[in-house]
Amino acid sequence: MPKNLPMALQDKTFIITGAGKGLGRGYALHLASLGANVVVNNRSHVGETPSSAASVVAEIIAAGGKAVAEQSDAEDTLCGARLLQTALDSFGGIDGLVANAGVSEGTSFNKQDLAQFRRTIEINLMGTVNAVHPVYQHLYQQGHGSIVVSTSVAGLYGEHGLPAYSTSKAGLLGLMYALSKEGGRHNLRINALAPYAATQMTDEYLTDELRQQMHPERVAPVVAWLMNESCGVNGEIIIAGGGLMGHARVSEPVPVPIADEADFATIDQAWKQLREQPLEREYRSALQHSAAFLKP
């Protein structure tokens, strides 16, 4: 184990889903290098020996770290309960979860059948919920912890050819915002990370130069920062990759009045006025927004 590392994550225990390859593997290796115990989750595939999760665990142990493999499928509603129990049985506790497992797609909505759409939602959105729910309940009761859900700029802005993926990743933002309000009172932080990295999911879209720039390991330190109890960040969207870090947030211009009997031209003019105004207002909850928007 490398010397002179910060001790904040020493002997803390974290679950990483989708950690058999790509970003999840990078997160697991980095957290273990900082002294954390890691539950490495990745679903097993037929004929895969050893499993990808077991291979990552072997890497961690060979480097002097501590990790165990767990092979539940994100689509399994009992996935989170198994992950939590593995952490408790193996390391005696749990301090955080990085819900990283997910799949992409490559088809337009016009050509897509609903079974394909539902499967992406089931894995990316409900699969994250499956993992988060029991862990969230445990961290809520113990009064501390950190959860990171893996969103995407496709969830923020949408992308042609990724309708279900964009929907699933946008749904995770709603989950993150709601849970950050509920858990924040119990010292439980939840944030969303939109990573840029060269992985199996993105490889075909990247140039050689971007592949060199966008190693998954370059996102991992941001995950470690979010897992650190002293970080204090809650309910935020962090963008990271290629040696850069960004912050996404929702903001609005000041609303403009429209008459009760406004016609098309009046509303069209109001819209043009809104588009020209600076983005001045940010809101920390739906209740705060409604109070500000509807005030006399």
Query: What residues are labeled active site?
Result: 165
d(CA 139, CA 187): 9
The contacts of residue 155 (CB under 8 Å, 6+ apart) are 166, 167, 168, 169, 170, 171, 172, 173, 194
Structure tokens given for 39? 């539950």
**Burial, 270: exposed, middle or buried (Cβ in 10 Å; 0-12, 13-18, 19+)?**
middle
* Bridge partner residues of 252 (DSSP): 281
What value, to the nearest 5°, has the Cα angle with vertex 60 and ends 55 and 64?
Answer: 145
Q: Can you tell me which residue has the tokens 């904040």?
A: 8
Q: How crowded is the C-beta side of 31, counted as CA atoms within 13 Å? A: 34
Helices 22-33 & 52-62 angle (0-180, nearest 10) = 30
Q: Which ranges constitute the DSSP H helices of the chain?
A: 22-33, 52-62, 79-91, 114-121, 127-142, 153-157, 163-184, 208-213, 220-227, 264-276, 286-293
